[in-house]
Structure 1
Amino acid sequence: MEDQIMTDTHLTAPTRFVDVDGNNYAYRRWGDTTTGQPPLFLLQHFRGGMDHWDPLMTDGLAAGREVILYNGRGVASSSGKPRTRIEHMADDAAAVIRALGLNKVDVVGFSLGGFQAQDLTRRHPDLVRKLMLLGTGPRGGNPDSDPGVLEAAPRPVPTLEDFLFLFFGRSEAAKKAGRDFWNRRHQRVDQDPPSSPEVIQAQVEANMYYLPKLDVNDPFAHLREIKQPTFILNGVNDVMIPTLNSWHMVQNIPNAQLFVYPDAGHGAQFQYPDRFLNHAIQFLDRE
């Protein structure tokens, strides 16, 4: 299996399944196992599956460590009833990490996956070495997304125009980067199935439970529980999770650093994949 992992790529790594409490969780795992780096465990955005990641990004990261893509309970090719609470999604991720025989990982969470990554790190700190939060925000953060998000994000069959609006900047260069990303993410032949309407509804409910502040007098106190080195990235104009939320996180997570990319939105790492890889690899490799 190790040789297979070493030679696979985003486009060829087989979909595998691990059973946890009667639910089959889908994952793909590949990359360089010889560098001494812990595996990088990726948590995806609202309704997204393993094929919503950018192959340029995942293969670039896999050059220096193992990468593990993962679908939560009921999401895309995973079985089971979808979760309606972020903290339960985080506990599922921890159970899968342990079921894969791992005792330490680095974690990447994008958007709703970033919500999960924060709770995974807070609730299971022994599992997480470093944390990367992309296009996301804290529990109890600013919820004021662009009104167009409510139309585009839940659309049963997302279009290229939806992705450009939701994830990318507004310039022609940003739109071209978005179209390039769209083409890359559709290169794999055996794509994950789309998430069901039940997943969409469950994740909307989970998001609603994530909005209230835990403590109205000190709303981001919970972030100070995250002691791990933390990398935070957003675009300068995130229409889904306002960029201001990234500032709240970097102010309150004790060992955090913030990157804000120009002319970019929610998916800054997809718009600037080379820049992101340079920053991410430097962060992950640093002792």
Structure 2
Amino acid sequence: MKIEAPPWREIHLPGLGPLRIRDSGPPEGEPDAPTILLIHGWTVSADLNWCRTYEPIARRARVVAWDQRGHGAGGLRTSGRMRMEALADDAAAVVRALGVDRATAVGYSMGGAVAQAMWRRHPDLLDGLVLCATAMAFGLTTTERRDFAIMGASSLPARLAAALGREEPGWQAARRASERQAGTSMETGDADFDRWAWDETRAGSLHHVLRAAWNLGRFDSSDWIHEVDVPHAVVVCGDDDVVPTARQRQLAHALPDATILEIDADHAACVLRPDLFVPALDSALDAVHGPAPR
């Protein structure tokens, strides 16, 4: 399926190897436009998370995106850890490979945890932070901790299944679990798009994705998120059952001076409600960088 997206190019991350990234370059006539890192959420690819976002945001900024470790077809298949801090280090390595001084991290869901960890570990590389559909912590209830633990324990069987070419049943189970958590089908009603979206998801490594879930459940920024010292904004999904809306609001109010944009949409707003999500993200970037040239 064809989407409107920046071209691919390959960069080299020291100690990790080659990584394919989307890179729009600066908008025409705007060589000093900010660099925006679009950091996707759990299970999905960069293209699936940001397919509705690439083109409008590339009008105002240099847009860069990549598949995170183990995700999508292009994510690094490292044997290293899948902690949010490791994914944040990957993002920092991307910035250094681009040769830019600083970038703005825009993180969605799990990508929001990665963006928070990036500020914590590499504050010198960030000039702004936009956190979307995300939270300070994800494994707070007994049920959540149990579910994350089950996913972590399932990562080794998933690795063995992959070696035997039998990942598909595991992906189907993960899909059903995601839909139960969301309380709705993740399908759009567009058969071509839905097939493409499913292909993008299962192109990832289920072993890595499950390990990422275990580590997402252990992430907690509540002790330090109030220290964020770069311009920042939060996009809250007001009808979200995956990352509960209340937790998104708690994150927004824990930050020292966040611009808060709330939209009437569920967790899949970036794909299903771009009419709401993209203007909110655009306003969030206005808050961080000032209004874009029109």
Using the size of structure 2 for normalisation, the TM-score is: 0.74
Please state how far the C-alpha of 1:48 moved relative to its aligned partner.
2.1
Please tell me whether the aligned partners of residues 104 and 127 of structure 2 are also in contact (alpha carbons under 8 angstroms): yes
SS at match of 2:189: helix
Please state how far the C-alpha of 1:29 moved relative to its aligned partner.
0.8
1:207-263 Cα shifts (integer Å, max 9, x gaps):
23215xx7xxxxx2311111222222232232222111112111111121223322x
Q: Indicate the residue corresponding to 1:28 in structure 2.
A: 22
SS at match of 1:205: helix
1:108 matches 2:117: no
Q: Indicate the residue corresponding to 1:242 in structure 2.
A: 244
Rounded Cα–Cα distance in structure 2 between residues aligned with 1:252 and 1:87: 20
1:152-206 Cα shifts (integer Å, max 9, x gaps):
9x95148998777666x86xxxx8994359828939xx96871112212320221
Q: Indicate the residue corresponding to 1:59 in structure 2.
A: 55
Q: Indicate the residue corresponding to 1:96 in structure 2.
A: 94
Q: Indicate the residue corresponding to 1:156 in structure 2.
A: 171
Rounded Cα–Cα distance in structure 2 between residues aligned with 1:243 and 1:103: 34
Q: Indicate the residue corresponding to 1:223 in structure 2.
A: 225
Please tell me whether the aligned partners of residues 104 and 127 of structure 1 are also in contact (alpha carbons under 8 angstroms): yes
Deviates more, 1:51-60 or 1:62-71: 51-60
Please tell me whether the aligned partners of residues 42 and 109 of structure 2 are also in contact (alpha carbons under 8 angstroms): yes
Rounded Cα–Cα distance in structure 2 between residues aligned with 1:68 and 1:42: 6
In structure 2, the CA distance between the partners of 1:17 and 1:166, relative to structure 1 (3 Å rule), is farther
Question: Share of identical aligned residues, percent?
Answer: 23
Q: Indicate the residue corresponding to 1:186 in structure 2.
A: 196
SS at match of 1:209: coil
1:281 matches 2:260: no
1:18 matches 2:16: no
Which of 76, 83, 86 does residue 84 from structure 2 map onto?
Answer: 86
1:49 matches 2:58: no
Q: Indicate the residue corresponding to 1:72 in structure 2.
A: 68
Please state how far the C-alpha of 1:92 moved relative to its aligned partner.
1.9
Q: Indicate the residue corresponding to 1:133 in structure 2.
A: 131
Using the size of structure 1 for normalisation, the TM-score is: 0.75
Please tell me whether the aligned partners of residues 141 and 245 of structure 1 are also in contact (alpha carbons under 8 angstroms): no
**Which amino acid counterpart does residue 28 of structure 1 have in structure 2?**
R
SS at match of 2:171: coil
1:61-115 Cα shifts (integer Å, max 9, x gaps):
1111111111233433234225321112112211221122121111111111111
Rounded Cα–Cα distance in structure 1 between residues aligned with 2:139 and 2:201: 31
Unaligned runs of 5+ in 1: 1-8, 215-219
Please state how far the C-alpha of 1:279 moved relative to its aligned partner.
2.5
SS at match of 2:276: helix
In structure 2, the CA distance between the partners of 1:241 and 1:56, relative to structure 1 (3 Å rule), is closer
Please tell me whether the aligned partners of residues 12 and 18 of structure 2 are also in contact (alpha carbons under 8 angstroms): yes
Q: Indicate the residue corresponding to 1:271 in structure 2.
A: 272
Greater share of residues in helix = 2
SS at match of 2:18: strand
Instruction: Report runs of 4+ in structure 1 exceeding 4 Å deviation.
Output: 140-147, 149-152, 157-167, 190-193
1:106-163 Cα shifts (integer Å, max 9, x gaps):
111111111100010122112112211111110377457889x8899x9514899877
In structure 2, the CA distance between the partners of 1:23 and 1:60, relative to structure 1 (3 Å rule), is same
Rounded Cα–Cα distance in structure 2 between residues aligned with 1:11 and 1:221: 37
**Which amino acid counterpart does residue 100 of structure 2 have in structure 1?**
L
Rounded Cα–Cα distance in structure 2 between residues aligned with 1:231 and 1:113: 15
1:202 matches 2:211: yes
SS at match of 1:210: coil
In structure 2, the CA distance between the partners of 1:257 and 1:51, relative to structure 1 (3 Å rule), is same
- Equivalences, count: 263
SS at match of 1:56: coil
**Which amino acid counterpart does residue 254 of structure 2 have in structure 1?**
N
Rounded Cα–Cα distance in structure 1 between residues aligned with 2:211 and 2:44: 13
